[in-house]
Amino acid sequence: MAGIKKILMFSLILIFLAACVSPELEEKLNNLENQIRQLNTQIDSIEKKMLDLENKMKAQESSQEELEALKRDVRYLKEDLSSLQEEFSSKMSDLENSYYSISMKLPAVEKAASIFSEIEDMKSKISELERKVSIVSLGSSPEVSEDLKHILLDLEERVSTLEKNVSVVDRIEERLESTEKLLSKVALRVLSQSEAETKVVNVSNDELESRISDIEKKLSYLETNQKALEQIVQNLKDQMPSSYANTDFESYSQQLKKYLDEFRRLVRSYEIARILGIEEGYVFVRVERGDTLAKISDAFNLGPDGVEKIMKLNGIDDPRKLIAGRIIKVPVTNLSASFPVGEKPDPKVIVSGFGLKTDGTFSTGVEVESDGQKVKAALPGRVKSVSSGTVVVYHGNDVETVYRNLAVVSVNAGDWVSAGDTIGYGGKNVVFELYVEGEPKDPMLLFFSNMGEFEISFYTEWEDGKLPEHPAFRLTKSGKIPEDWKTAAADTTIFPLGSVLYIPELRDTPSGGVFVVEDIGGVITGRKIDIYLDSIREALQNRKIVSRVFVWRD
């Protein structure tokens, strides 16, 4: 401010001098005065910026203080969290100790107690299942997460465990009844011993009294054990949530199985939709000359109102006026009806699998023995072409299937077929191929559901611990003689006996990667599978591998 005052004084002096000077000097003084005004303006602007800068610095200091306060709060919260974690760990340790103490009393009852936690977990799984089933049933989207298959596997394992635990509870009740019967028998024996005491003359009274005393002790011991067992069971019932007090676990298990069946349908629908590129429950079909909505509806099993559904979906007023080349949407919300699964394959009839071979060649399809058997359409669609024993069927969404080496062809180009319709009769071998947007895909994936990764090992008839003299030597759990590159041993809680498996890593084997679960093994539990081989040398040469495993969709 002192500088400004000096400038003003200087300006006044200049003005005073201007009155006493010549015009030229006066003009120079005016110019100088204008420059002084500009300098004043610039000084004011600089002072304003300095003031703004000071305010910003103060605000920054305030923000820094708030940041430091937040850091302190976070530090305190971390300390509180650490304290809570320690307290939680301590509580968990106490609970584990309590659980261990209880479980040591009676291992069988421990299994019964686990039923209730299994049920709670299953209810949450089922709620999620119902939500996802409703999504697919509405045809909103096939974008179901990949973990559906893992949820299905987990549910199947839990249902199997639940059934085992229910049987354990049943055995406990049987043991209680057996104990009561045993007590009655012991009591009768005591009475009979007392009656025989007066009749047996060769036995001393001391020996009889000793025997009766031992029997009474055993009776007391049995009574004590029975009461303890009844008390433990009663405690479990008291601790049981009231909603489960009268639960019929067998009925509950059956209900879960129904949910699982529906869940399997959901998973199959999702996988088919993913393979065939079905979005929002529609298949996009290009109309060709001779096509009618009725033919398309029948092929996709849309029901009696299928034509109306297609008309409404595509805004078609007159079904007779279809234009060749037009692409229409065909609703396929019920994929199980449109794409039904056929009969289970027999590994013995598979000649060659899909994919790269050990000799460097690539197979674009699956070759199976036919010998005059019926050849059926795998998917609904229009017969695109027929020539030299080869039938090509178009299914919409740029998906085609090819059937080669047919001895007799029963369809013509332009015909519409449903899944399962006979298209001809095979020659010695038939090749089945699947193409999506012109690229060959593994056709097995249309019929098998992905169960995740498993460890695959190999075994022979000499590894079950049975000698040749044993009546069950070479017999599997299913009572059959194992077959080379066909029989598999697996955990039956995951894959029941009779399940048909597809292992892509083994598709270049004699079975084309298809195996039947016919056996079990002591160490084959969980995510492990054992493949039977006749040759010990071959079994030793084939090391353990990890591969995705697919199961036939029932």
DSSP string of 519-545?
E--SS--SSEEEEE-S-HHHHHHS--E
| Dihedral angle over CA of 25, 27, 29, 34, nearest 10 | -170
Any idea which residue has 């893992």 for tokens?
150
Within a 13 Å sphere around the CA of 463, how many CA atoms are in the beta-carbon half? 21
Nearest to 550 by CA among 275, 358, 331, 277: 275
Distance CA 371, CA 405 (A): 11
Instruction: Please check whether residue 380 is in contact with residue 300, taking contact to mean a CB–CB distance below 8 angstroms.
Output: yes
Q: Give CATH for domain 447-552.
A: 2.40.40.10
CATH fold of the domain at 347-445? Glucose Permease (Domain IIA) (2.70.70)
The runs of H, that is alpha helices, within 384-526 are none
Distance CA 32, CA 13 (A): 12
Instruction: Please check whether residue 190 is in contact with residue 215, taking contact to mean a CB–CB distance below 8 angstroms.
Output: yes
- Kindly give the confidence (pLDDT) of every residue in the chain, 554 residues in length, as a single tens digit, with 9 standing for 90 and above: 555 555 566 566 655 555 555 667 667 767 777 777 777 787 877 878 888 787 778 777 777 777 777 777 667 766 766 666 666 556 555 555 554 454 444 444 455 455 555 555 665 665 665 555 445 444 444 444 455 556 656 666 665 665 555 555 555 555 555 555 555 554 555 445 544 444 444 445 555 556 556 655 655 565 566 566 666 666 655 655 555 555 555 665 666 666 666 665 566 566 666 777 776 678 899 999 999 999 999 999 888 999 999 999 999 998 888 888 999 999 887 666 666 655 666 777 888 888 888 778 888 899 988 888 899 998 899 999 999 899 999 998 889 999 999 999 999 999 999 988 999 999 889 999 999 989 999 988 888 888 888 999 998 877 766 656 566 667 787 788 888 889 999 998 889 898 999 998 898 888 888 999 998 887 788 899 999 998 888 877 777 889 999 888 76
Residue type, 524: I
Any idea which residue has 């009655």 for tokens?
184
Equal fold, 277-338 vs 347-445:
no
Residue 463 tokens read as 């590894």
Residue type, 499: S
pTM exceeds 0.85:
no
Structural domain boundaries in the chain: 2-76, 126-256, 277-338, 347-445, 447-552
Q: Does domain 277-338 have CATH number 3.30.70.580?
A: no
Any idea which residue has 């199947």 for tokens?
156
The 3-state DSSP class for residue 164 equals helix
